[in-house]
Amino acid sequence: MSFKINDSVTWVGKIDWELRKFHGDEYSTHKGSSYNSYLVRGEKTVLIDTVWRPFAKEFVENLKKEIDLNKIDTIIINHGEPDHSGALPELMREIPNTPIYCTKNCVSSLKGHYHQDWNFVEVKTGDKLNIGSKDFIFIEARLLHWPDTMFSYLTGDGILFSNDAFGQHYASEFMFNDLVDQAELYHEAIKYYANILTPFSKLVEKKIEEVVALNVPVNMICTSHGIIWRDNPLQIVNKYMEWAKDYNENQVTLIYDSMWDATRKMAEAIAEGIKSTNNEVEIKLYNTARTDKNDIITEVFKSKLIIAGSSTINKGILYSIDGLLEMMRGLSFKGKKAAAFGSYGWSGESVAILNEELKKGGFELIDEGLKVFWVPDEAGIEKCKEFGRKLAAQL
């Protein structure tokens, strides 16, 4: 499958309808994904990125149907991660001398992945590649989300080939933003940002400001995953600027794991207490052992208060909540408040451990936390409601 984006650009990628996990087992892709590769024809012909390795042979065979491979003058690799570069070994067996334009860090990445010394041409911000009446302008975008990432801007057409930025893991036969379900699109876009780009938010802000300062038209944003932004493409850029600035919605999220339902009962009572004080705030509860971790991370990203709960087990906390807090620490959330709660029968360390992990994750603790001995009785439930009311008063 290929399709024209405009008179000079053709999509030659792969839609992966079956994909359910990404980055190993680190990211859930309930809606599949796509690996977007683009063929740009001018006086010279340029291929931008490839596809993931399992589809390499299919990619090259389909590309042959689109063009004589020997007529590809240049390959641009915006980012060396294998979901973008995985078909390079298969392709370079066919056209081994074709120059590959990429950043210095990307050369290192590609050599590290494929152990080949291809015809690399290192580029940096401001460098250009002329293809006749148009130029590609390269813009390094380090740590968005790897050190080797760059954007490629095509003059004349006003297309920004943004690689991972502004993308989503979202498979659709309608590959343009104005043709897909907007709620689905933005859910997958914010999930992508929350789970992948959050640690680099300050860099996101600076890079967007740098691109805006170029004062060039952006008529389309061609991402490496998901749909292409052609209708008001800057809408996603504006969203990124919003998400990059310590983003919060009027939401409280309770995340917990529970052995015998005592901690679950606490969570529900705390939520009831919050709601009785503030009925405008949206409250969401997630059992971390039974809910997709990336979906929870997305809700944490949207929340201004996180309340984490766990039973005490072996002087520690339950595995699922521990793993989620580890992920949250790596994402370095900013501008979010937190508190902890938990049930116990013997030693009761869980709340102290949760507090410590939340602080390591950059959350502002607004309470020392609440512990309940064994299963909460009526008095214990009331203590949980009061805890919720007290937290709500600080929002």
Told to judge if 79 belongs to the known catalytic residues of this protein, a careful annotator would answer: yes
Peptide bond into 115 cis (omega under 30): no
192, 240, 247, 256: the active-site residue: 192
79, 188, 247, 257: the active-site residue: 79
Say if residues 357 and 351 touch (Cβ distance below 8 Å): no
Say if residues 231 and 176 touch (Cβ distance below 8 Å): yes
- Quote the CA–CA distance of 85 and 49 in Å, as a whole number: 6
Considering just the CA atoms, what is the radius of gyration of the chain in Å? Answer: 24
Say if residues 325 and 356 touch (Cβ distance below 8 Å): no
Cβ atoms within 10 Å, residue 280: 7
90, 153, 225, 257: the active-site residue: 225
Told to judge if 83 belongs to the known catalytic residues of this protein, a careful annotator would answer: yes
Told to judge if 115 belongs to the known catalytic residues of this protein, a careful annotator would answer: no
16, 49, 157, 164: the active-site residue: 164
16, 49, 81, 148: the active-site residue: 81
Q: Give the DSSP per-residue string, 357-374.
A: HHHHTT-EE-S--EEEES
Told to judge if 113 belongs to the known catalytic residues of this protein, a careful annotator would answer: no
Told to judge if 257 belongs to the known catalytic residues of this protein, a careful annotator would answer: no
- Quote the CA–CA distance of 12 and 35 in Å, as a whole number: 9
Told to judge if 169 belongs to the known catalytic residues of this protein, a careful annotator would answer: no
- Quote the CA–CA distance of 247 and 235 in Å, as a whole number: 16
49, 90, 140, 145: the active-site residue: 145
User: Comparing C-alpha atoms, which of 344, 346, 350 is closest to residue 375?
Assistant: 344
Q: Which residues are catalytic?
A: 23, 79, 81, 83, 145, 164, 192, 225
